[in-house]
Each structure stands twice: as structure tokens, then as C-alpha cells.
Amino acid sequence: MSEFAGPRSLRQLLDAVQTIGSDLDLADMLQRIIHSAVELVDARYGALGVLDETRTRLAQFITVGIEEPARSKIGHLPEGHGILGLLIVDARPLRLPDLTEHPDSYGFPPHHPPMRSFLGVPILVRDEVFGNLYLTDKRTAEVFTDVDEELIVGLAGAAGVAIDNARLLGKVNQLAVVEDRERIARDLHDTVIQRLFATGMSLQSTVRLVSTDPTSTIERIERAVDDLDLTIREIRSAIFGLEQTRPAPDGLRGRILALVQESASVLGFEPHVVLDGPIDAAVDPAVGAELLATLREALSNVAKHAAASRTDVEIDVVDDAVCLRVLDDGIGPPPTDARTGRGLTNMAARAIRLGGTLTLKAADSGGTELEWRIPKR
């Protein structure tokens, strides 16, 4: 940094660097960069031109200082000809006392405000030109100074790093979306589609029993209906998963999934989860906190007492209630006259406090089914 750049200028540069790095959304960041550049050197007008993939013309042109009605009258945005094109051809800072006197000047289109002093600086990302900063008409002097140029060069360096980080984050998020959509597709294929196929085969074989074994026919149809009901719930869960591909870690959905994953270390396996309904939007925060505490207690009980090899966690907020079910294939519930620990007592107390119920019974397929149901607030 030049010895002529005083403490105030350095503080302004530091503030500008902190401003552009405070948001990793690329579109917002580009706006912050050009606004910071204009303020840093007290320019009347500023623009950030982003190069296209060929790096020969401008694909994006973000302006500061010209209000929207006036900008609309100017018409088509610049593509990088004339003075603006000089930085595309030769990626070095360019400072002019009067841009209209330069031999490459194209002049201004109708309705364009007059501009004289000019400062242009390229933004490099990994040694390649990402775009250029264009600043015109210094308010407090006739021309931009050496210090102004060095300040903008410093800002452009920080902007290049911030832009690179934002683009890398965007790529990571895209990969995360792809991975989650592939996971959902696998879940649909491995569970939903296979169950639908098996249910269809069962109903086909049931047709032959209608006249010979009515009792078996009824039982098969009831099982098929149950399987279809579960399949519908899993499809709905997958749809909500697609709508919220990457659950916010501090949202209820994200905390449920994190808790279930955490329980795998004590259970010896990861529970199967079905989340049905807009959990983050529909569940009151107070109910959500109690639901998480209840789920933690229920999974702890399975780990301590059930001797299970599989556990299913189902949370349903589609109707007028929030319903948590935890099912396992273990040894079944304790006898009604047996002493129970504090876990069941705590879960029941939470339900009652919220106007709900807790039930514990033998699951239809063996093991235990715990249901904690609370009215939706």
C-alpha cells in the first residue's frame, strides 16, 4: 500500500473488505463489491462488469449511481466495447483524467449522463479475469489519484477471493442437492416401489382365495391396505424431502434427523425414519422441543431394554395432531404390573402437559410400539 494512503483510507478499505465478505450469496456479493468501491474512492458512478465464458465480452453489468428510470432510457447495457473493452484485452488498472479524450472512446449513447474521470481495475479469480470494476467522476477532485487506484486494486484482490469462495460454496450446495436427490431416489426404489410391487402381487394371489377361503382373503386385503397406507406416507415423506432437500440443521426436521443418526452409536444400527408433513412450518417450537426430548428417551429405552435389531421412527404432522411413533422388533413391552423407569414417566408427563397422550403396546409385527400424540397448536 502506498505511503500516501492514510489511516482513514486503510480503515475504509478494511471496512469494505469486511462488507463484501459478509455474505456468500454471489449475486448479493457483486452488489456489495461495486457499492463498496464507489464509497471507497468517492466516485459518482460505478459498475461491475462480469465477463462471459469466452472472456471477450460482458455478460453482466451491475451499476451504481444511475437510477432505474434513467438507466432504462439508456437502453442496452454495455458489452465491453470502447474504454470498457480495454481492461478485457489488457487486464491491468487503467486511470484516465478524461475518458472522452481517449482514442478508444465510443462516446455515450443517448440519455447517458456525462462522465469524465475514470478508474478501471480487473477482478482476478485464480489468476483469471472474472470481471472489471469501472468507476467514474470522482466527487472530491478532478481525477482519481494513485491512492484511489491502490485502494481499488486492494479491494479487487479481496473481492476475487470472496467471489471464489462464493462460487465454491455454490458448487458444494449443488453437489449436496444432487446427493440428496439421489438418496431420495434410492429410498423410493428400495422401499416404496418394492412395497408397491409386493402389495400388487399379494392382491393378485388374493383373487384366487375369494371363493375358497374368505377369512384369508380378508386378512390379506387388510395387510395390503396397511402396506399401501405406509407406502403413501413414505412417498409423502420423500416429497417433503425433495421440497426441503437440505434440511436446516437448526430446524426441527434437521434436529430430528441428527438425533436419529446420533442414536445409531448406542443402538448398533440407524433407525428407519418417515417424516410426514411440513414439520418445520407446522410444529410449534415448544412442542418441537418436547418431541425431541421424547424421541431421545424412546430411543434410549429401545437401546437399554428392547434387544431390537430394527427401529422405525415415524413423525406425522399432516392431520390436526403431532404424532410420534417409535416401533421396534425387540422383546415387547414390559408387563402392565412391572416397575418402569423414569423414561416412560417423563414421556407421559410431557404429553399430558401439552394436552396429549402416551400409549405403549405390543406392535402388530412383534416388539413394541410407542405413540406420543399432541394436538397441533
9-47 pLDDT, tens digit each: 667 777 777 777 666 678 888 998 999 999 999 999 999
Cβ atoms < 10 Å from Cβ of 282 = 15
Locate the domains of the chain by residue range: 7-172, 247-377
Domain covering 247-377, topology: Heat Shock Protein 90 (3.30.565)
* 345 CA to centre of own chain: 38
Q: Which three cell numbers stand for residue 101?
A: 479524450
Q: Which three cell numbers stand for residue 124?
A: 482476478
Position 2 confidence tier, pLDDT thresholds 50, 70, 90? very low
Contact call for residues 326 and 295 (beta carbons, < 8 A): yes
Total-model pTM: 0.48
Q: Which three cell numbers stand for residue 179?
A: 446427493
CATH architecture of 7-172: 2-Layer Sandwich (3.30)
CA-based torsion, 206, 210, 212, 214: positive or negative: positive
CA-based torsion, 300, 302, 308, 313: positive or negative: negative
| Angle, helix 285-301 to helix 252-267, in steps of 10 degrees | 10
Is pLDDT at 252 greater than 80 in this prediction?
yes
Q: Are strands 272-276 and 311-316 parallel, antiparallel or unpaired?
A: parallel
Contact call for residues 80 and 58 (beta carbons, < 8 A): yes
Report the pLDDT value the prediction gives residue 227, as an integer from 0 to 100. Answer: 67
What CA–CA distance (Å, rounded) separates 361 from 368? 6
CA-based torsion, 161, 166, 169, 174: positive or negative: negative
What confidence tens digit (pLDDT) does each residue in 91-129 have?
899 999 998 888 877 777 777 888 999 999 999 988 889
What confidence tens digit (pLDDT) does each residue in 158-216 have?
888 888 877 777 666 665 656 666 666 666 556 655 666 666 666 666 656 656 676 77
